[in-house]
Structure 1
């Protein structure tokens, strides 16, 4: 892992806040000239610290009113079954995240849907058809208090 100085950390914080900042604005905010700023940014991209840039969309404005946290338990833990589960989850656009977890469940998913009917269809047509699934437990968000994908960086 690369050692990051305060300028690197500040640069990462700035691009997390606004990935559309021009190099000139980044350099000005960092109080450095544009060429070293561009080099730092490119180094962070090439090293895979900055994995990409994307727009943050409002799920509510896109009529995705249901946010569910889904715990999947499976009875079979073989390589083929796990690979099939992962393939299916990766192909499901409404699954925002999936983690192989410790505890009572084997996988934890974050899922969005237009409404409860749409969520129910997803469970019936996708999750229940996964091999080896023994339990599906859904917890629904009643109110989103904080949602962020920004990592804690900065001096």
Structure 2
């Protein structure tokens, strides 16, 4: 666990706002010289606090108009079925996230598709073919009120 002092928190907040921020600009925002800023940044990267950098895209502007929240219940929890299930999930770019959950269902997935026909085809060609799946329940997003990948950083 890395020490999350005020400077590290500020580095993470700045980078969550603008992942393309140069070290020089980051140091300027933090009122520190570039070398100590770079060292702190490298330490955050090497420790795994910062996993990667990416551009956040507007899904609608690239033609992904449907977002579905899918609950899956499995009947087969064998090691082989679980391994194959995980492989298919990881290989499916339409699946943004998959969580093993408590409650009546085993998994909660967030899935995007171009439209309802595309989503229906995805359900038929991918979800219904997952090993051990006993039931699939979909909830379609009617309106996205908040979407963020920013995490609150606590001291």
TM, length-normalised to structure 2: 0.98
Question: 2:73 matched to which residue of 1?
Answer: 73
Q: Is the partner of 1:19 in helix, strand or coil?
A: coil
Question: 2:112 matched to which residue of 1?
Answer: 112
Deviation at 1:154, TM superposition (A): 6.0
Question: 2:122 matched to which residue of 1?
Answer: 122
CA distance in 1, matches of 2:31, 2:119: 49
Task: State yes or no: 1:6 paired with 2:6.
Answer: yes
Deviation at 1:151, TM superposition (A): 0.6
Q: Which runs of 5+ in 1 are unaligned?
A: none
CA distance in 2, matches of 1:154, 1:13: 11
Q: Is the partner of 2:19 in helix, strand or coil?
A: coil
Deviation at 1:132, TM superposition (A): 1.3
Deviation at 1:104, TM superposition (A): 1.1
Question: 1:51 matched to which residue of 2?
Answer: 51
Question: 2:39 matched to which residue of 1?
Answer: 39
Question: 1:148 matched to which residue of 2?
Answer: 148
Question: 1:94 matched to which residue of 2?
Answer: 94
CA distance in 1, matches of 2:38, 2:56: 24
What do the CA deviations read for 1:71-93 (whole angstroms, capped 9, x no partner)? 01001111111111110111101
Superposition RMSD in Å: 0.9
Question: 1:25 matched to which residue of 2?
Answer: 25
Runs of 4+ more than 6 Å apart: none
Question: 1:64 matched to which residue of 2?
Answer: 64
Deviation at 1:153, TM superposition (A): 1.5
Count of residues in correspondence between the two structures: 155
CA distance in 2, matches of 1:145, 1:96: 18
Structure 1 residues 25 and 42: alpha-carbon distance in aligned structure 2, compared to 1, 3 A threshold: same
